[in-house]
Amino acid sequence: MAVHLTHTAAKHGISRARALYVLDHYIWAYPVGRGVTLYMGPDRNGIDLEIGTVRRGDEMYVIHAMKLRDEFIDEYTRHLPWPR
């Protein structure tokens, strides 16, 4: 599947490589509505990120990428396969 980063995804300084890593290794995916799904997981440095995507056919668009917000930490932690 082709993955494209939109200009809004770069707003918080998360690189394409970091976003793609999370998409490949996410811990928890959360559908937020209107076809948007947030994928949450650590990047290669262990920094927890949230990556917002929209799928259109065989393509995925990353529309949001930033450090994991406080509002998701409790639920995200419940999905971790290791203790925190």
Residue numbers of the domain that contains 53: 2-79
Local confidence band at 23 (pLDDT 50, 70, 90 cut-offs): very high
Asked whether residue 84 is assigned to any structural domain, the reply reads: no
Local confidence band at 43 (pLDDT 50, 70, 90 cut-offs): very high
Give 8's DSSP letter.
G
The structural domain count of the chain equals 1
Could you tell me where the beta strands, DSSP code E, fall in 1-84? 2-5, 28-33, 36-42, 48-56, 59-67
At residue 80, the pLDDT reads: 87
At residue 67, the pLDDT reads: 97
Asked whether residue 62 is assigned to any structural domain, the reply reads: yes
Please return the burial class of 61, using the count of CB atoms within 10 Å of its CB with bins 0-12, 13-18 and 19+: middle
Element spanning 77, H or E:
helix 70-79
